[in-house]
Amino acid sequence: MAPVREYNWLVNGLNYAGLGWGDPEGTPTLCLHGWLDNALSFQALAAYFPERYFVAPDLSGHGHSDWRSADANYNIYDDLPELLAIADQLGWQQFDLIGHSRGAIIASLLAATCPQRISRLVLIDALAPPPIEPADFVDQLGRFLRQKKQYSERKQRVYATEADAVTVRAERDLAQQSAALLVGRNLRACEGGFTWRTDPRLYSASATKMGREEIRAVMNALTMPALLILAEQGMISKDPRIDQLVALAQQMQRVDVPGGHHVHMDDAVQVVEPLQRFYSETEAVCEVY
């Protein structure tokens, strides 16, 4: 596999860092990591696809990318113009898109609103956010207002060693090796040891959430070939909404694989076969410019 390439993009005055793997002349593939993860989320998977070009940015407030300004927020919609700007700077008019967890939800929104830019869509263990009921709108907005202040003032935890931070991250939802990979990019040295690079405001409630009809509209707008890979021990495999939502998309397949929420990291080979098959089956109908 070719050496990893490091990227930096300037978007709206903020620096966004990222990593690239594979053949720069291969199929352009933008990869969106999950909540509190970073670009290294896709390193293991990229190793199986050297003929493609995987580029994974650290999303806002994660990894080596800048935090947003004090007046800004981290609603999932806020990532969309940043991602389009990154794709434009890469010179990608059309590209494949892969998202995991929160990144999968953002990928669905991007593909639905800009279908002319997305050749194929792959979602790993997430599809759409839980819907909000209209009666809960005021409570949701109130939580946002309270938590914006709370997390803007939050002190980051300090760990004596990097290994201590890895242990805490692994206890949450990751294999030890995967946790070590992500933590190395999400930590910075500070007085007393190490602390997170991650913006604490990412823990804050969203200002609002999508309702059932908005989610249905997003699914209906997914016109490109799409693949949903669900981990059998993941976060949403038992969600009764999934098959109904998949059916709304015009060309979406569902595949269930053994593993947990970070299966693409902890046991990437489980994702490789369905992903290779999907790319092979859709190659004839996808012309990437």
* Residue pair 109/129 in contact by the 8 Å Cβ criterion: no
User: 32: which strand partners?
Assistant: 99
Residue 274 has pLDDT above 60, yes or no: yes
Domain ranges in the chain? 5-132+209-285
**Summary mean pLDDT of the chain:** 94
Q: What is the pLDDT of residue 75?
A: 93
Residue 284 has pLDDT above 90, yes or no: no
Rounded to 5 degrees, φ, ψ at 76 are -60, -25
Of 105, 81, 115, 287, which Cα lies nearest the Cα of 210? 105
Of 85, 52, 267, 58, which Cα lies nearest the Cα of 174? 267
Q: What is the pLDDT of residue 145?
A: 95
* Residue pair 227/104 in contact by the 8 Å Cβ criterion: no
The 10s digit of each residue's pLDDT in 152-211 is 988 899 999 999 999 999 988 799 999 999 999 999 999 999 999 999 999 999 999 999
3-state secondary structure of 43: helix
For residues 224 and 122, what is the distance between their CA atoms, to the nearest angstrom? 10
Residue 1 has pLDDT above 70, yes or no: no
DSSP-derived secondary structure letter, 39: G
Residue 288 has pLDDT above 50, yes or no: no
Confidence at 289, pLDDT banded by 50, 70, 90: very low
DSSP-derived secondary structure letter, 69: P
For residues 238 and 90, what is the distance between their CA atoms, to the nearest angstrom? 38
Cα R_g (the chain), whole angstroms: 18
For residues 105 and 102, what is the distance between their CA atoms, to the nearest angstrom? 5
The 10s digit of each residue's pLDDT in 199-252 is 999 999 999 999 999 999 999 999 999 999 999 999 998 888 999 999 999 999
Mean pLDDT of 127-146: 95
Residue 3 has pLDDT above 90, yes or no: no
Q: What is the pLDDT of residue 173?
A: 78
CATH fold label, 5-132+209-285 = Rossmann fold (3.40.50)
The 10s digit of each residue's pLDDT in 60-95 is 999 999 999 999 999 999 999 999 999 999 999 999
Q: What is the pLDDT of residue 82?
A: 97
